[in-house]
Amino acid sequence: MRQGKRDRAILTADHEETNKFSSATGESHTQTKRLEKESGYYLANNKGIAIVFTPHMGDLPPHAEVPITLTVYNNICGRFEDQIIADIKGLQQRTFPINIAIKGSPVEIPLSQVGMNYNTAPPTMPIPTTVANTAKVAKTLKVRNTGIRAVELNWQIYD
């Protein structure tokens, strides 16, 4: 190596593959990012719900039990009914009914909005006190629909 010259870059992302987050917050962040990526993959068909079995196929030894993880990804609320089909080579297919109720709201207020007070529950947007017959006060609030269908919003202001 010549004086003053480097043969490789100092700032690279190579350490990201070997030095993962090790704190609880970092691990939670990594898990959240992984879940977002998986959710995007499984919900790409715009059906609003995906049920994933892990493992989805394999051998079951005689007199044995195999745990199967069922993961539900969704971006829509409601009641869903379907059937799980077990297809065992040499036997007749077996169906099991599945009923899922998903509650919640697809509407959210995105984080990091200017003017929002996130130290209150729920978050608030303080509006300054004004005097009668003065200029109007305008605030902007972003609202996001995370669902696959349009929603109708009706706003009410409470004292």
pTM to 2 decimals? Answer: 0.59
What pLDDT score was predicted for residue 56?
87
pLDDT digits (tens, 9 = 90+) for 81-117: 999 898 888 899 999 999 999 998 888 888 888 888 8
Residue 2 counted as domain residue: no
- Number of helical (H) and strand (E) elements in the chain, helices listed first: 2, 6
What pLDDT score was predicted for residue 117?
87
Residue 84 counted as domain residue: yes
Residues composing the chain: 159
Residue 81 counted as domain residue: yes
Q: How many domains does the chain have?
A: 1
Domain hosting 92: range is 15-105
Residue 85 counted as domain residue: yes
Residue 7 counted as domain residue: no
User: Of 52, 57, 13, whose CA–CA distance to 35 is shortest?
Assistant: 52
What pLDDT score was predicted for residue 129?
85
Q: Which of 4-13, 61-70, 138-147 has the highest mean pLDDT?
A: 61-70
Tokens, residue 92? 């007749």
Residue 64 counted as domain residue: yes
User: Of 45, 66, 64, whose CA–CA distance to 55 is shortest?
Assistant: 66
pLDDT digits (tens, 9 = 90+) for 38-83: 888 998 888 888 999 999 888 889 999 999 999 999 888 889 999 9
The residue among 32 and 50 whose pLDDT is bigger is 50
Alpha-carbon span 73 to 3, nearest angstrom: 56
